[in-house]
Chains A and B, each alone.
Chain A
Amino acid sequence: MNSQRILALVKKDLKHMVREPALLFLILLFPVVLTLAFGFSFGAVGGAQQTTFQIGVVNANENSLYPQYAQDFIANITSTEILIVEPYADNQTAQLDLAQGKIQALLLIPADFGASCNAFQTAPDNPDQWINTTVSLYLDSGSMVATQAIPPIIQQVLAAAIYGDQQATVPRPIQIGTPSLVEVTKQTMFDYMAPGLFAYAAIFLTMTVAQSFTTDRENGLLRRISVTPTTATEFMASQVLSNMIIAVAQAVLIFVMAYVVGYRPDVGVGIYAFAFVLVLLFSLCNVGFGLITATIAKSSGAATGLSFLFILPQMFLGTFVGAALSSAAQTAGRFVPSYYVTDALTSLLLRKAPVTSPIVLLDFAVVSLASVVVLAFGILLFRKYGKA
């Protein structure tokens, strides 16, 4: 292999990326805009370090003999600073707002709530004198985080309302400790999305590689290169190299943008290095998909459309989008390489798993294998049928 040829081809490809506005947008500006948009929408921009949820409260206990208990309960919910209480006069209106997504949860405090608390306070050791009642909680099933985060918060606030601050000193057979609030105080939606974003950007290499090859083929540039001493191996090596450089640039940009919008995973340099290696490997897989697309497509226009055959499944089934899909779709995600990239990055950056953890190593192995197979298949296919 001649390094002068490879270097010339790589430089040419990088100049193409920088000088072609549409390509520059797709490769570099799109990931930046995407990261910023998601960061501002779901991240911790503006100093707030937590996600808040609107919770509707219908207090049927207001006119009872013991209204103070429910009032304290509501005040304690507000003091969590995670739940923003929206008072409602009736259940029907509140249910309507919940169905319309105006609130993420609805709490129904029954009329005998105060009486129940008072009965427990009066005779904490005599269950026969307790007045049993139920606080109803409705959740927006469309909000993944709400369904996970709100119930434990309500449970803890309710425990405080029943037992008070002295709960640990009340003698009873089963002690209820003072649980700390769930981690939602430190995680934002963006923290869950960021690992998928790294994979998301690299997926679009499929389109840029396919477009680049088909355009050069249409314009006779591949034939022109074919009559120089450049070997197929040198040509493909340059493609791999230039796309890996682009993938690194994308990953760095996404990370910087994510950092700007408040994404600060508390992991070491080694984890970041490993994450970059994973993204690089994944970029090879997408170069392979790009070559397959370029082989099938008759023109650059067709290549754009056909590339979505590879982009969409990877995007919807394998990145952060997949978390909101049905269980069947999530199972299908296991057949796309981006799933394993997102899964490994989530384990590393969100769950703080070490590089040596079995799940990360398994993900790495799957991504490596998929990348080698897809790239090799893409190269073989393009060399045999794609150059004409």
Chain B
Amino acid sequence: MQQSAIVIESLVKKFEDVTAVDGINLQVSKGELFGLLGPNGAGKTTTINVLCGLLKPTSGSATVGGYDVQKETSKVKELIGVCPQDTPVYPYLTGRENAEFFGNLHAMPKEKLKKNVDALLQRLSLLEDSKRRVGKYSGGMKRRLNLILALVHDPEIAFLDEPTVAMDPQSRHAVWDFIRDLKKNGKTVILTTHYMEEAETLCDRIGIIDHGKLIALGTPTALMRKYKAKNLEDVFIQLTGRKIREEA
């Protein structure tokens, strides 16, 4: 049996009277590319935030890399890389400075940091613009840099929250190739998205979340077979009675 990178048990997260995550149970194996699918406000980002130690669960438990997210948060933070949905980057720093800054926060050795930064800038086509201040970057460039900042320290587990949202098709496919490479290199990737095609193309398994509940779990093929659907969009419609993008 494969080792679990992430284990979530009866996870509940409430914000006053709103239940954002409602009793989720889930296991993600090491080296798996797992997709969390659901409309905006379904509870995907809240689940990720709990797993990163940013939010305390109301009840239930979660471990990341074998560490309890509440009790061993600092150990969890050493293992993970997080690419947030918005693009938090320092506009007054250059692309390279941003990457080096976050690498330093992970206390990376100088030489390894430079090697990683160069490789990532090259891979995501930002090397030529790496000495420009990020304030001058286009939206797509900022999104690609956002991904670099999450992965500069070569984390074992990557949380990618809507990494391709608002990207042009060409950039999106480049990022997809990059995410596939992460899996090839043995990384565990948790990808949240509301792009069905993205989930179908990239993910080993998918969990569909709606109103904080995990309503379906399986490989894309298995889910489509189970619900006799031609794609994941149809699966979602059959499960919820509405299209995923209507609430986006």
Residue positions of A touching B, CB distance < 8 A? 2, 4-5, 7-9, 11-12, 15-16, 19-20, 219-221, 223-231
How far is A12 from B89 in the complex, measured between Cα atoms in Å? 12
Given contacts A12-B101, A223-B88, A229 and B107 within 8 Å (CB-CB): yes
Asked if B88 and A224 sit within 8 Å, CB to CB, the answer is yes
Contact with A along B56-99 (1 / 0, CB 8 A): 00000000000000000010011010101010111011000100
Task: Report how far A224 CA is from B106 CA in the complex, Å.
Answer: 12
Which residue in chain A gives the minimum CB-CB distance to B100?
Answer: A8
A-side binding surface: helix, strand, loop or mixed?
Answer: helix
B90→A223 contact, CB < 8 A: no
Please, how many residues of chain B have a CB less than 8 angstroms from a CB on the other chain?
Answer: 25
Q: A16-B92, A221-B90, A231-B74 are in contact. Are A5 and B104 (CB under 8 A)?
A: yes
The smallest C-beta distance from B75 to any residue of chain A, in angstroms, reads 9
Question: Which listed residue (B80, B90, B105) contacts A230, Cβ 8 A?
Answer: B105
A8→B105 contact, CB < 8 A: yes
| B12 → A minimal CB distance (Å) | 19
Given A220-B84, A228-B102, A228-B105, output 4 extra A-B contacts at Cβ < 8 Å.
Answer: A12-B93, A220-B86, A224-B84, A224-B88
Query: Within the complex, which residue of A16, A19, A229 is in contact with B105, where a contact is CB–CB below 8 Å?
Result: A229
Is B104 a contact of A8 with CB atoms below 8 Å? yes
In the complex, the answer to whether A5 meets B107 with C-beta atoms within 8 Å is: yes
CB neighbours (8 Å) of A11 from chain B are 101
Measured between beta carbons, the chain A residues less than 8 angstroms from B220 are none
A sample of 16 inter-chain contacts (CB < 8 A) reads: A2-B107, A5-B105, A7-B104, A8-B101, A12-B93, A219-B86, A221-B88, A221-B90, A223-B88, A224-B102, A227-B52, A227-B53, A227-B77, A227-B80, A228-B105, A229-B106
A228 and B77: CB pair below 8 A? yes
- Residues of chain B within 8 A (CB-CB) of A225 are 105
Nearest residue, chain A, Cβ from B85 = A220
Contacts between the two chains (Cβ within 8 Å), count: 62
| Minimum C-beta distance from A118 to chain B (A) | 79
Q: A2: which B residues are within 8 A, CB to CB?
A: 107
Smallest CB-CB separation from A19: which chain B residue?
B92
A227 to B160, CA, bound (A): 13
Shortest CB-to-CB span from B77 to chain A, Å, is 5
Are B97 and A15 in contact, with the CB atoms below 8 A?
yes
A19, A220, A228 pick with most chain B CB within 10 angstroms? A228
In the assembly, what is the distance between CA of A373 and CA of B80, in Å? 36
For residue B106, give the distance in angstroms from its CB to the closest CB of chain A.
6
Complex Cα spacing A87 to B90, Å: 66
Q: In the assembled complex, how far is the CB of residue B188 from the closest CB belonging to chain A, in whole angstroms?
A: 16
Distance in angstroms between the alpha carbons of A27 and B71 in the assembled complex: 41
Smallest beta-carbon distance A223→chain B, Å: 6
State whether the Cβ of B237 lies closer than 8 Å to any Cβ in chain A: no
Q: How far is the CB of B236 from chain A (nearest CB, A)?
A: 28
Chain B residue, CB-CB nearest to A7: B104
Is B106 a contact partner of A219 (Cβ separation < 8 A)? no
Whether a CB of chain A sits under 8 angstroms from the CB of B211 is no
Contact across chains for B105 and A226 when beta carbons are under 8 A apart: no
Residues of A within 8 A of B78 (CB): 229
Question: Which are the 4 A-B pairs with shortest beta-carbon distances?
Answer: A8-B104, A220-B88, A228-B105, A19-B92
Distance (Å) between the CB of B44 and the closest chain A CB? 16
Bound complex: CA of A248 vs CA of B166, how far in Å?
Answer: 44
Residue of A2, A4, A16 with highest tally of chain B CB at under 10 A: A4
B133 within 8 A of A: yes
Whether A224 lies near B82 (C-beta < 8 A) is yes
- Complex interface residues of chain B between 10 and 60 (CB less than 8 A to chain A): 52-54
A15 CA to B93 CA, complexed, in Å: 8
Report Cα–Cα, A287/B200, bound state, in Å: 50
Q: Are A219 and B88 in contact (CB under 8 A)?
A: yes
| Cβ contact within 8 Å between B54 and A223 | yes
The residues of B that contact A5 with a CB separation of less than 8 Å are: 104-105, 107
B120 interface residue per 8 A CB criterion: no
Report how far A59 CA is from B90 CA in the complex, Å: 72
Measured CB to CB, the closest approach of chain B to A28, in angstroms, equals 15
Q: Which of A4, A9, A226 contacts B54 (CB 8 A)?
A: A226
- Chain B residues with Cβ below 8 Å from A7 are 104
Closest-CB distance, A309 to chain B (whole angstroms)? 27
Closest to A220 in B: B88
Does B149 have its Cβ within 8 Å of any Cβ on chain A?
Answer: yes
CB distance from B109 to the nearest CB of A (A): 9
With the chains together, A327 CA to B200 CA distance in Å? Answer: 76
Residues of A within 8 A of B97 (CB): 12, 15
Structural contact, B88 and A12, CB atoms closer than 8 A = no
Closest to A221 in B: B88
